[in-house]
Structure 1
Amino acid sequence: MDTGKNDISGWLVRRASWHLWAALGVVLGAAVLRTARVTSDGGMDNAIVVRAARTWLAGGSPYDDPHFLYLPSAVLAAAPQALLPVSVLRVLVPVAVSGCLLAGWACALRLYGVPLRSRCAVLGLLGSAACFAPFGHLLLLANWTATAALALPLALLLAGRGRWTAAGVVLGAAIALKPLLAPVALLFVFARRARALAALVLVPAVASAGAALLLPDPLGFVTRTLPFLLRGDDGFVRLYEASPAAVLPRLGVPQTVAEGIALLLCAAGVACAYLRWHGPGPDALRLAETAAGLMLSAFLVSRPSYDHYLLVVVPLLLAGVPYAGSVARTPWFWLALAPQLTGLSLPYLEPPQRRAFKDAFTLVTLAVTVARHNVRSRLLGAPATAVAGKVTMNGDPAF
């Protein structure tokens, strides 16, 4: 009788897992098809980079467009897209973006030792795709943040296995495409990995310098893009920025005071990340929570700073939920994400120009939550265990 019950239970579990994967396929497929249908070129942000590449191929400077905020190496990386028909890009780009997010989630799971075929794996991705608004925004915009969402967990996975130099190369390649992950260089400083840090710096430096020599305006990034980023004076872009330096002035706070608050929060976050790295706990948690603390600290002061930047950090933290000592087990983590639930309506914040206030709440709350958790982890330790290569919860197998 017991054997029969076990067989039935196993059959139900397998059936449930199959249905979850089928649901995930439907959600991702629908999101890709919707993006292909409503966009004419695969996504507005990707189109900016592709347009810059087309300008370069035509003999012009890609930095004539003030919204092209990438290093020169990104121009060469986008050149193959510039040669493709728009009808192909409409389908290829959303597929590539969703592929980056899927691969990044898989790397985050493997960092923690979570099986890729587990219910936790499929439920986490299904919940993100169906319920987390920045996921849909990133897919719709096709922003190159998707490359960072893949590169960061992949680099941490390599570092967790002792391959720090390879991790530096991966991060350097991602920075060459978009400089979003530059703050993670501090993790290599904390870990005293000089060779890996050199790889992280040299890869984008060499790639960008070589690409710049092929442009009609080799110093365009320095003379045009950097001043634009430092000033942050684009009135249209500012409406969608989530950093306190951009949001607080809209509430009447003087710009200088807002920037000072953002800098103080950033410095405190970096200090807490340093404490987390030198604290106890499994290597996976130390790597992920230190890197997340550094990235969130940077998002507090970076201009611009958008809601889809959260896709670099949130999946990395969410994948650690099987560990009893992870930040994803704290209620404040989920409270921070609540405003980003798809379909949740908040009074006065629904117009697109006001959603930055919701994004700022999520960013600041999540940054403070991770910083507080990093300090507590240093003081109290991380009570997670791993037995026979599988994550466990309170001594019982989680999967």
Structure 2
Amino acid sequence: MSERKSDISGWLVRPAAWHLWAVLGAVLGAAVARTARLTSDGGMDNAIVVRAARVWLAGGSPYDDPHFLYLPSAVVAAAPWATVPRGVLSVLVPVLVAGCLVGGWVCALRLHGVAPRSRFAALGLIGLAAGFAPFAHLVLLGNWTATAALALPLAVLLVGRGRWVAAGLVLGAAVALKPLLAPMGLLFVFARRWRALAWLAGVPAAASAGAALLLPDPAGFLTRTLPFLLRGDDGFVRLYEASPLAVLPRAGVPATLAALLAFGMAAVGVGCAYRRWRAGDEGPLRPAETAALLMLSAFLVSRPSYDHYLLVVVPLLLAGALKAGSVVRGPWFWLALVPQLPGVTWPYLEAGERRAFRDAVTLCVLAVTLAAHCRRTAARGNDVGHSAGPGRGLVAVMSGTRGYAGGRQQGASQGNPF
């Protein structure tokens, strides 16, 4: 991004003054301090994982708790936290969660060529922290979704630079901690990056297999957690799920019809993501929008699916606001986020158990908006490819297969994973 532009984009990419950084520090500090004051073990969701590790260290099975929905590798990863005093965890965990969210934002900015010291960087993060309710909610819960919020922008950044194997390693490590980013394997299938896909799948598989051997019930995830997820969790968890699978039946829609609608929307989303990738245009919007749409499509049918899952995709898209053709420049992106404004009381949705309806609106509108945008972008790309003649059309098809690699061909360096 050029600082010489005279329009608003030129002003936004110039370095931010210390005043903005002070405001950002105050907002993030307030979120961390609130969590430290109100929670123990770093938040309710982090407490579930740490408690499972404590049970394992005491000789029990972590899967005795039906709300522990992680792979065996997460038990081993959480074991060091089980030895940390609760008072320390209540401060350390929200600091790390906020750090993951900041790190994910920085990676998203670098993908789109925006300096992390710019006004846009500071203002965007202030907007996320103070104006997007899932941000504070994730810090308060201490959910390990924060690792995915860091891993996805980092992986897409690596993809944008042609480092597919490194991206697969990052995603594989994130899946080993929490299998939220497993749908990203489809991006590697679209790009035919089989070696990188093998790393993405192999890292969590090897880590979980090794960790399972240390558990009293090595198959606990398969025999207890998966059936729990497939039958739709329990009555308590279902109250907070944002996917149409959970929300529509609460509104009186038959469960079968809700499933057909949700899976239909997800299938369309994956199809539009594939078309977006095959469009073959160079630039950071292509991998960012494809990855975001794949994740949103998964959230439409995943059980569970919570509001803070949105933090995996929204910063990645928001960081591209200064790019021409970004979905952020359309009104529907912002309308989708309106239900997530903190401090706004919505009639009949005041109770915490009903916020899932607001979250479902954001999820569905955002998914439909991005799918339509990707479809339009792909159509324009195909029109350009056809009008450019057979020679350039072939180049467009080849670039669609090889993937965006930082604006230049890097075929000679593909053998180097780093």
State TM-score, norm by structure 1: 0.91
Alignment of 1:53-68 (within 5 A): 53-68=53-68
Partner of 1:333: 333
Partner of 1:21: 21
Q: Which amino acid aligns with 2:133?
A: A
Partner of 2:168: 168
Partner of 1:359: 359
Distance (Å, rounded) in 2 between the aligned partners of 1:15 and 1:181 = 33
Partner of 1:147: 147
Distance (Å, rounded) in 2 between the aligned partners of 1:123 and 1:233 = 38
Q: Which amino acid aligns with 1:333?
A: F
Partner of 1:136: 136
Partner of 1:262: 262
Q: Per-residue CA shift, 1:180-234, capped at 9, x if unaligned?
A: 0000000000001010000000000000000000000000000000001111140
Q: Which amino acid aligns with 1:80?
A: P
TM superposition shift of 1:280: 4.2
TM superposition shift of 1:15: 9.6
Q: Which amino acid aligns with 1:97?
A: V
The SS at the match of 2:17 is helix
Contact 2:16-2:122 at 8 Å conserved across structures:
no
Contact 2:41-2:50 at 8 Å conserved across structures:
no
Does residue 10 of structure 2 align to residue 45 of structure 1?
A: no
TM superposition shift of 1:18: 1.6
Contact 2:16-2:117 at 8 Å conserved across structures:
no
Distance (Å, rounded) in 2 between the aligned partners of 1:161 and 1:270 = 23
TM superposition shift of 1:283: 3.0
Distance (Å, rounded) in 2 between the aligned partners of 1:349 and 1:377 = 36
Partner of 2:177: 177
Does residue 202 of structure 2 align to residue 190 of structure 1?
A: no
Root mean square deviation of aligned Cα: 1.7
Partner of 1:239: 239
Partner of 2:89: 89
Q: Per-residue CA shift, 1:58-107, capped at 9, x if unaligned?
A: 00000000000000000000001001111110110000000000000000
TM superposition shift of 1:346: 1.2
Distance (Å, rounded) in 1 between the aligned partners of 2:233 and 2:276 = 35
Q: Which amino acid aligns with 2:37?
A: R
TM superposition shift of 1:159: 1.1
Distance (Å, rounded) in 1 between the aligned partners of 2:212 and 2:79 = 14
Distance (Å, rounded) in 1 between the aligned partners of 2:148 and 2:233 = 25
Partner of 1:281: 281
In the alignment of these two chains, the number of paired residues is 374
Contact 1:76-1:211 at 8 Å conserved across structures:
yes
Q: Which amino acid aligns with 1:153?
A: P
* Bigger mean CA deviation after superposition, 66-75 or 338-347: 338-347
State TM-score, norm by structure 2: 0.87
Distance (Å, rounded) in 2 between the aligned partners of 1:126 and 1:251 = 35
TM superposition shift of 1:345: 1.6
Alignment of 1:93-104 (within 5 A): 93-104=93-104
Q: Which amino acid aligns with 1:109?
A: L
Contact 1:242-1:359 at 8 Å conserved across structures:
yes
TM superposition shift of 1:153: 0.5
Partner of 1:121: 121
Distance (Å, rounded) in 2 between the aligned partners of 1:265 and 1:241 = 17
TM superposition shift of 1:380: 2.1
Partner of 1:392: none
Distance (Å, rounded) in 2 between the aligned partners of 1:75 and 1:47 = 12
TM superposition shift of 1:251: 1.1
Distance (Å, rounded) in 2 between the aligned partners of 1:282 and 1:139 = 35
The SS at the match of 1:283 is coil
Distance (Å, rounded) in 2 between the aligned partners of 1:259 and 1:111 = 35
Q: Per-residue CA shift, 1:149-173, capped at 9, x if unaligned?
A: 0000001111111110010000000
Distance 1:348 1:92, change over 3 A: same
Distance 1:32 1:213, change over 3 A: same
TM superposition shift of 1:324: 1.2
Distance (Å, rounded) in 2 between the aligned partners of 1:237 and 1:256 = 20
Distance (Å, rounded) in 1 between the aligned partners of 2:277 and 2:14 = 39
Partner of 1:69: 69
Distance (Å, rounded) in 2 between the aligned partners of 1:282 and 1:119 = 26
Partner of 1:350: 350
Distance 1:233 1:202, change over 3 A: closer
Does residue 292 of structure 2 align to residue 302 of structure 1?
A: no
TM superposition shift of 1:344: 1.5
TM superposition shift of 1:17: 2.3
Q: Which amino acid aligns with 2:71?
A: L
TM superposition shift of 1:14: 8.4
Contact 1:280-1:377 at 8 Å conserved across structures:
no
Distance (Å, rounded) in 2 between the aligned partners of 1:200 and 1:194 = 10
What's the % identity of the aligned pairs? 75
The SS at the match of 2:158 is helix
Partner of 1:319: 319
TM superposition shift of 1:379: 1.3
Distance (Å, rounded) in 2 between the aligned partners of 1:83 and 1:15 = 42
Q: Per-residue CA shift, 1:362-395, capped at 9, x if unaligned?
A: 0000000010000011112499xxxxx9xxxxxx
Q: Which amino acid aligns with 1:261?
A: L
Contact 1:280-1:381 at 8 Å conserved across structures:
yes
Distance (Å, rounded) in 2 between the aligned partners of 1:231 and 1:17 = 52
Q: Per-residue CA shift, 1:90-147, capped at 9, x if unaligned?
A: 1100000000000000000001111111111111100000110000110000000000
TM superposition shift of 1:16: 6.1
Distance (Å, rounded) in 1 between the aligned partners of 2:133 and 2:381 = 33
Distance 1:219 1:318, change over 3 A: same
